[in-house]
Amino acid sequence: MEVEANLKVLQSKINEACAKANRSPNEIKVIAVTKYVSVARAVEAIEAGIEDIGENRLEGFLNKREAINKNVNWHFIGTLQSRKVKEIIENIDLIHSLDRLSLAKEINKRTEEIQPCLIQVNTSEESSKHGLSINEVIGFIKDLEPYEKIRVDGLMTMAPFTDDRDVIRECFQKLHSLRDEIKQLNLPHAPCHFLSMGMSNDYDIAIEEGATHIRVGTSLVGNEND
Ligand SMILES: *Cc1c(COP(=O)(O)O)cnc(C)c1O
């Protein structure tokens, strides 16, 4: 499988979704999610033009980051255990999964610089999904104020696992309007401009609904465990 060919297809689909939504493709950051693939495949993606790599587990993240000596942005997109923060915190460009104060406290303690974070929101209200419910998010962001190294750059969500595209779209719309509501609060620690939403099966809908970051694994780099 050719990552470069997949990236071309992805880019043309991004262009299509942007045209539909009257947006510029420059507004969309593609994060290659490499959790199912080798270092070699991740490097192939970078050589094809990918500038952002996402991993959802500590081990995978550390392995890739150590092995890949390239100038890319590193995204942590999975559940982060507080006791693991110190092993990983250096040099994460964006944490997509901040969802509790204990984690914020630990990040704040372990990092030397401002740490850009997204709040993970459970827009589908499925109990199996991580993240805060929509109505908890603003209170949570206000509670983050004392943690001076945490900066809330936006929100992240995962759509439910369903073929019903209207249900998926509704989740993305909810995240978008919540983001706008937070932006209007003008909180210095929460500029909240990013929307991380959309994966292999639904990134086109996410772009139509305002995504700034899409997290694409299987349809870009494949799955070497299959
Ligand atoms: C695995 C994963 C993705 C990518 O999923 P694909 O369906 O393979 O594109 C995106 N976001 C998160 C949080 C993930 O865990």
Q: Which pLDDT value is given to residue 179?
A: 98
Query: How many C-beta atoms lie closer than 10 Å to residue 219's C-beta?
Result: 15
DSSP structural state of residue 142:
H
Position 1 scores a pLDDT of: 56
- For residue 149, the CA-to-ligand 1 centroid distance in Å is 27
Does the Cβ of 134 fall within 6 Å of ligand 1? no
The vertex-80 CA angle with 78 and 85, nearest 5°, equals 135
| Ligand 1 geometric centre to CA of 217 (Å) | 6
Ligand 1 atom having least distance to the Cα of 35: 1
Q: Is the pLDDT of residue 70 over 90?
A: no
Please indicate, yes or no, whether the overall pTM of this predicted structure exceeds 0.85.
yes
Largest Cα span, the chain: 48
DSSP characters for 126-140?
-TTS-SB-HHHHHHH
The tens digit of pLDDT for each residue in 137-163 reads: 999 999 999 999 999 999 999 999 899
Across residues 181-197, what is the average pLDDT? Answer: 98
What local confidence, expressed as pLDDT, does residue 59 receive?
95
Residue type, 74: W
CA distances from 186 to 132, 141, 192, 207 (A): 21, 12, 9, 25
pLDDT tens digits along 33-65: 999 999 999 999 999 999 999 999 999 999 999
* Atom number, ligand 1, closest to the C-alpha of residue 201: 7
**Phi, psi angles (nearest 5°) of residue 162:** -155, 155
Distance 59 CA to ligand 1 centre (A): 16
Residue 124: DSSP 8-state: T
Mean pLDDT (whole number) for 187-215: 98
One-letter amino acid for residue 154 of the chain: G
Nearest CA to ligand 1 atom 10: 215
- CB of 131 closer than 6 angstroms to any ligand 1 atom: no
CB of residue 217 inside a 6 A radius of ligand 1: yes
Distance 26 CA to ligand 1 centre (A): 21
pLDDT at 40 (0 to 100): 96
State pLDDT tens for residues 71-108.
999 999 999 999 999 999 988 999 999 999 999 999 99
Asked if 211 and 197 count as a contact pair (C-beta separation under 8 A), the reply is yes
Q: How many CA atoms lie within 13 A of 190 on its CB side?
A: 26
- Measured in angstroms, how far is the CA atom of residue 107 from the centroid of ligand 1? 23
- Assess contact for 57 and 35: CB atoms under 8 A: yes
Q: What was the pLDDT predicted at 129?
A: 75
